Amino acid sequence: MKQFHQRSICLVTIILLSGCGQTTEIREYVADREIERVVTTDVLRDDYPRLPFDWPAAENWRTAENDQFSLVAWTAGPKTSEARITVSNVNAASGIEAQVARWRGQIGMPEVSDPEELKKALTEIRLGEVTGTWVELKGGAETILAMLVPYENKLWVFRYRSSNETATAEAKSFRGWCEAIRIKN
């Protein structure tokens, strides 16, 4: 057994010392940069996720830049107190109540430990084939309005955030827009 152990050590040492052959050099390849990209339907389909919803065109909304979470974004209302409207999605397992609790914190509302208290801000609304949950939260200075729609393992979030004053003027319009959202056929 001792000889086997010594031979094994010797064999491993020889393998480690011999390596895989001569040292290879590092090679650098330079590829020409793509100067111009032709935008085709296929490129758009690959670069932008398909949104499974249709919604009506919103009057007086201006296209805005997306943030790290939004797939589509707009602004609305007066320039001095703009609302931000976004469409995004999260994993459906994250849950509606978790979103509502997080948003309450974002607009300075007190934390709520009772899930039943959170549910008071929720109203179910039928959107054709699916049911959405309407959320209305009013903090000291800001309001968040949202429609949350569970669909295909995602929770789709149609969200509006603005000052309370702007929200008072725009809430009915945003809710009507949300109620018109439908699954694409």
Specify the CATH number for the domain of residue 61: 3.40.1000.10
Whether residue 40 is contained in a domain is answered as: no
User: For residue 116, which amino acid is it?
Assistant: E
* pLDDT for res 71: 94
More confidently predicted of 74 and 10? 74
Q: How confident is the model at residue 37 (pLDDT cuts 50, 70, 90)?
A: very low
* pLDDT for res 35: 46
Q: How far is CA 76 from the centre of its chain?
A: 20
* pLDDT for res 55: 92
What is the mean pLDDT of the segment spanning 108-135?
A: 91
Whether residue 3 is contained in a domain is answered as: no
Whether residue 117 is contained in a domain is answered as: yes
Beta strand segments in 27-129, E: 53-54, 62-63, 70-76, 83-91, 122-127
Share of residues in the chain with pLDDT > 90 (%): 59
In total, how many domains does the chain have?
A: 1
Cα–Cα distance between 130 and 180 in angstroms, integer? 12
Whether residue 170 is contained in a domain is answered as: yes
Token pair of 62, please? 């201006």
How does the average pLDDT of the chain come out, rounded? 83
Whether residue 77 is contained in a domain is answered as: yes
Q: Which residues constitute the domain of residue 63? A: 55-183
pTM of the predicted protein model: 0.72
What is the mean pLDDT of the segment spanning 95-114?
A: 93
Whether residue 11 is contained in a domain is answered as: no
Q: How confident is the model at residue 44 (pLDDT cuts 50, 70, 90)?
A: very low
* pLDDT for res 40: 45
Collapse the DSSP code of 60 into the 3-class scheme (helix H, G, I; strand E, B; otherwise coil) and give the result: coil
Q: Tell me which residue has tokens 């699954």.
A: 183
